Amino acid sequence: MPIEASLLKPIVDAILGLARAGSHARLKRDAARSVREAIRELLLADPNESEAEAKIAIAKAAGLINEDVLLADDMLRKVRAGGKTSLGRSLRKRAEPAPETSKGAKRVAKKAPPRPPPARK
């Protein structure tokens, strides 16, 4: 019994549609993972802004626009606007070098320049 092409086409279209939907679901899942990684990166004391921006761009290109993407984008803007002031008050005090005073400064002995090798006779 031969199978007609008109009966086969809807089945093939349905299978291709399911495969395409699975591909889109994987793309959305990967985009959501990259947004989570971008948020983790921005929460670090010294975030890599370009890496976070790339991950946010991946999510936007995949069509994933939800509150996580908007949150990550807002965090990136705040990190860029704030500069490198993400340290807490106590850490900021430790990070600043102590000013050197004349009494507490150590003198560094200067080394004499090296002597030239003796001439051969």
User: How confident is the model over 2-19, as a mean pLDDT?
Assistant: 73
pLDDT computed for residue 86 by the predictor: 47
Question: Is residue 53 predicted with pLDDT exceeding 80?
Answer: yes
Q: What is the DSSP letter of 103?
A: T
pTM for the predicted model, two decimal places: 0.51
Q: Are 56 and 38 in contact (CB under 8 A)?
A: yes
Integer Cα distance of 3 and 8 in angstroms: 7
Q: Of the spans 5-9, 21-25, 67-71, 102-106, which averages the highest pLDDT?
A: 67-71
CB neighbours (10 Å) of residue 4? Answer: 7
Whole-number mean pLDDT of the chain?
Answer: 76
